[in-house]
């Protein structure tokens, strides 16, 4: 009886141990938590990989931007250097022409020089005018006053920007414009106009700055109004130019009688009777227009010039913008100007006579002007690319700091685990 019981106890004890092991209860929540932890760790790892790749891609993109802007700057500087060299060559070419032409001027009529000096002297006599102040500055400084930051955009005064072959015609054109327009300051851009006069918060003129300040500094306070013409705001002539004309005269449609011939005594259009310095024939405005098709077309439009009053009056049906006659007749804006001629002291100076100047001289002047204009554009492009480069480098620095911080945070997280 004891023996079987003893055997039973031997068999049941291991069985009890086996059963207790197999039946240990497992909490379902613990299992879910374990899976969640694993999933969370996996998500964090996946997010870290994504963020790392994104930061690296951003750095790569910014690096490519930096290289692109650096390459652009390098290319623009190379172009500028080439244009600078070409400008130097053109200047040497023109310098050779001037040096070779010096002996020829000894026997030439130098009355044009006296005429220019007289024009300047008369301008300076208008002490309290903007034109008078500018030329007084020129006299005192010994150079063009237009090199000053305030007046660097000023081309000059209407009276000094054109010349006329005949003194009588010069007086007529000057009288037609009137003293106010003859003394008008000419600027290339509207920024130049704004620099000449500034205002306080109440809208009053600030007399300590602008041209008012310059006048006060030399003891010539600016008095009254003064006119300023901005070339960029003028509507230029739209049309062709006279072919092979070094002065780039406008190819205006001439008045024609029924038979096809011009009216008797027709001399030409006033805008084409002005001689413009070669340096002002091309590329003065932002859109590349010269003085004739902007300033002088604005001032004279299609004003016609005739030999006599009788010729002018016979041509009345053909006058769209008035007319002048060399014997003193004048029709301005449909109004007949009668009486004696008005004496205008400030007039266009006499031309120097440039018939001996070869055609390629003007072409070279034109090319030189265009090259200088191109250099200005290249400098603007370089400044713009430099600004973009600086911005890209700044963003690269910020993104690099983010990446370094990300790597440091990732390293600490890995160490903690």
Please spell the DSSP secondary structure of 32-93, one letter per residue.
HHHHHHHHHHHHHHHHHHHHHHHHHHHHHHHHHHHHHHHHHHHHHHHHHHHHHHHHHHHHHH
Same domain, 104 and 173: no
Same domain, 407 and 335: no
Same domain, 195 and 339: yes
Which of residues 223 and 171 earns the better pLDDT score?
171
Separation between Cα atoms, residue 324 and residue 311, nearest integer Å = 10
Separation between Cα atoms, residue 136 and residue 126, nearest integer Å = 10
pLDDT band for 12, please (50, 70, 90 cuts): very low
The pLDDT of residue 13? 42
Same domain, 259 and 392: no
- Per residue in 370-413, pLDDT (tens digit) is 788 788 889 989 999 999 999 889 988 887 888 788 777 777 66
Mean pLDDT, the chain, whole residue set? 77
Same domain, 344 and 277: yes
Asked whether residue 53 is assigned to any structural domain, the reply reads no
Region 355-384 average pLDDT: 74
Same domain, 310 and 415: no
How many domains does the chain contain in total? 2
Asked whether residue 1 is assigned to any structural domain, the reply reads no
Asked whether residue 199 is assigned to any structural domain, the reply reads yes
Query: Range of 185's domain?
Result: 109-357
Separation between Cα atoms, residue 313 and residue 256, nearest integer Å = 15
Same domain, 99 and 115: no
Asked whether residue 67 is assigned to any structural domain, the reply reads yes
Asked whether residue 7 is assigned to any structural domain, the reply reads no
Tokens 């001032």 correspond to 299
> Which residues, in sequence order, are CB contacts of 155 under 8 Å at separation 6+?
146, 161, 186, 187, 188, 231, 280, 284, 291
Asked whether residue 302 is assigned to any structural domain, the reply reads yes
What is the pTM for the complete model shown?
0.59
pLDDT band for 105, please (50, 70, 90 cuts): very low
Asked whether residue 26 is assigned to any structural domain, the reply reads no
155 closest CA partner among 164, 147, 146: 146
> Which residues, in sequence order, are CB contacts of 284 under 8 Å at separation 6+?
155, 188, 231, 290, 291, 294
In the DSSP assignment, the letter for residue 294 is I
Max avg pLDDT among 109-123, 187-201, 349-363:
187-201
Helix (H, G, I), strand (E, B) or coil at 407: helix
Contact 386, 73 (CB under 8 A): yes
């Amino acid at each position: 009886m004891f023996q079987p019981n003893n055997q039973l106890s031997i068999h049941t004890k291991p069985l009890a141990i086996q059963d207790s092991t197999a039946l240990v209860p497992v909490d379902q929540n613990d299992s879910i938590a374990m899976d969640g932890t694993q999933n969370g760790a996996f998500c964090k790892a996946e997010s870290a990989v994504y963020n790392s790749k994104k930061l690296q891609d951003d750095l790569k993109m910014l690096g490519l931007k930096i290289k692109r802007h650096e390459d652009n700057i390098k290319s623009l500087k190379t172009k500028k250097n080439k244009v600078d060299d070409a400008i130097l060559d053109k200047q040497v070419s023109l310098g050779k022409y001037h040096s070779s032409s010096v002996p020829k001027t000894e026997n030439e009529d130098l009355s044009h020089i006296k005429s220019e000096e007289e024009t300047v002297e008369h301008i300076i006599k208008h002490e309290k005018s903007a034109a008078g102040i500018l030329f007084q500055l020129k006299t005192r400084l010994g150079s063009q006053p237009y090199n000053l930051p305030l007046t660097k955009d000023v081309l000059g005064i209407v009276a000094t920007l054109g010349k006329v072959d005949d003194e009588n015609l010069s007086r007529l054109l000057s009288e037609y414009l009137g003293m106010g327009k003859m003394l008008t300051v000419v600027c290339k851009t509207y920024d130049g106009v704004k620099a000449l006069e500034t205002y306080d918060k109440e809208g009053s003129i600030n007399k300590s700055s602008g041209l008012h300040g310059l006048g006060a500094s030399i003891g010539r306070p600016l008095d009254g109004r003064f006119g300023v013409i901005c070339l960029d705001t003028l509507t230029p002539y739209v049309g062709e130019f006279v072919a092979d004309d070094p002065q780039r005269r406008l190819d205006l449609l001439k008045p024609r009688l029924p038979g096809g011939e011009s009216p008797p005594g027709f001399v030409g259009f006033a805008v084409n009777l002005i001689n413009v310095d070669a340096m002002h024939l091309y590329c003065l405005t932002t859109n590349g227009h010269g003085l004739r098709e902007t300033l002088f077309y604005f001032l004279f439009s299609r004003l016609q010039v005739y030999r006599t009053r009788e010729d002018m009056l016979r041509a009345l049906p053909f006058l769209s913008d008035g007319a002048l006659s060399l014997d003193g007749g004048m029709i301005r804006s449909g109004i007949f100007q009668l009486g004696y001629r008005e004496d205008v002291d400030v007039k266009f100076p006499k031309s120097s006579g440039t018939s001996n100047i070869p055609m390629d001289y003007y072409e070279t002047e034109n090319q030189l002007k265009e090259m200088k204009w191109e250099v200005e554009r290249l400098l603007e492009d370089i400044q713009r690319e430099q600004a973009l480069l600086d911005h890209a480098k700044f963003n690269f620095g910020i993104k690099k700091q983010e990446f370094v911080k990300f790597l440091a945070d990732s390293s600490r997280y890995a160490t903690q685990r």
